[in-house]
Structure 1
């Protein structure tokens, strides 16, 4: 569901950036290699990457990432992963815990914002104009 909503939004705004699913991976500035559930890179940054580096595990940190907790993922592990994304240049990150109906919003220089209950919506703000995730759709 989440992937479909995100890809619909990104397909109508392809000029803004490039969307990726969990099959994509990135080599971050700290040298680690990571694959989020969803990612997005602004077009200006994407176009600056050399063609040969636009393949699997491109040397770039996405501007936006989503990690969706699965039953086998401890939330603490994903929180550490989200901190690494932000520390490497990500501008907005969402960690979503469907089982406990919680979401965490990560932005540089701020403590994660914890959202309790899926009656809320998450906003892409100015980074992802008009992208909003109604958490109820994940129930």
Structure 2
């Protein structure tokens, strides 16, 4: 995603930001906790295909486990630190999802997913997305996050206890650990 950073005074009501995003739904719009707005276009074909592959396997596991809900890359979450972000794919336990009311579920859910995946696209900078994973996802309560770089065939596994593992090569599997019991993702599914 090509990112254009714009500074603005944070809106006093997230409803206004939601309306702004709705009026510009052809763009991917996120907001950092400091009020920075990140604007980008949709994914390219290769990134979209890889996102679909990841979402398919996550959904396949979710349907068999029946433990929660999978969200695609168009889902935007309003996080506890006031940032508003969208991962490539995410999962939320049924208990956490059901704690939200219907109005919260319909717009930008005011909750951090239990699990997120960020897929690095050709326009993303690794350090920027690493910071997003660490500060926005893990820092707001995500229990497990994967950052996957298809170009270098590298995956980074972030845990809520602060541990980060680097996995080199797409001949390995990533585990959902205790967050997604029984979920294994074969990185070879992302080889182009």
Cα RMSD over matched residues?
Answer: 0.9
1:52 Cα offset (Å): 1.0
Give TM-score, length-normalised by structure 1: 0.95
| Higher RCO structure (Cα 8 Å, ≥6 apart) | 1
1:94 equivalent in structure 2 = 146
Distance 1:97 1:116 in 2: 10
In 1, Cα distance between equivalents of 2:106 and 2:161: 30
The whole-number CA distance in structure 2 between the counterparts of 1:114 and 1:56 is 34
3-state SS in 1 of match to 2:145: strand
How many Å apart are 1:108 and its aligned residue? 1.4
Greater helix share, structure number: 2
Q: Does 1:81 align with 2:132?
A: yes
Tell me the distance in 1 between the aligned counterparts of 2:65 and 2:171.
27
Structure 1 residue aligned with 2:181? 129
Which residue of 1 is the match for residue 103 of structure 2? 52
Residues 125, 131 of structure 1: 8 Å contact kept: yes
- The structure 1 segments of at least 4 consecutive aligned residues displaced by more than 4 Å after TM superposition are none
Q: How many equivalent pairs are there?
A: 138
Structure whose CA Rg is larger: 2
Question: For residues 118 and 55 of structure 1, what CA distance do their matches in structure 2 show?
Answer: 36
| Partner SS, residue 127 of structure 2 | helix
* Distance (Å, rounded) in 2 between the aligned partners of 1:22 and 1:90: 16
Structure 1 residues 15-94: aligned runs within 5 Å: 16-83=67-134, 84-94=136-146
Unaligned 5+ segments in structure 2 are: 1-52
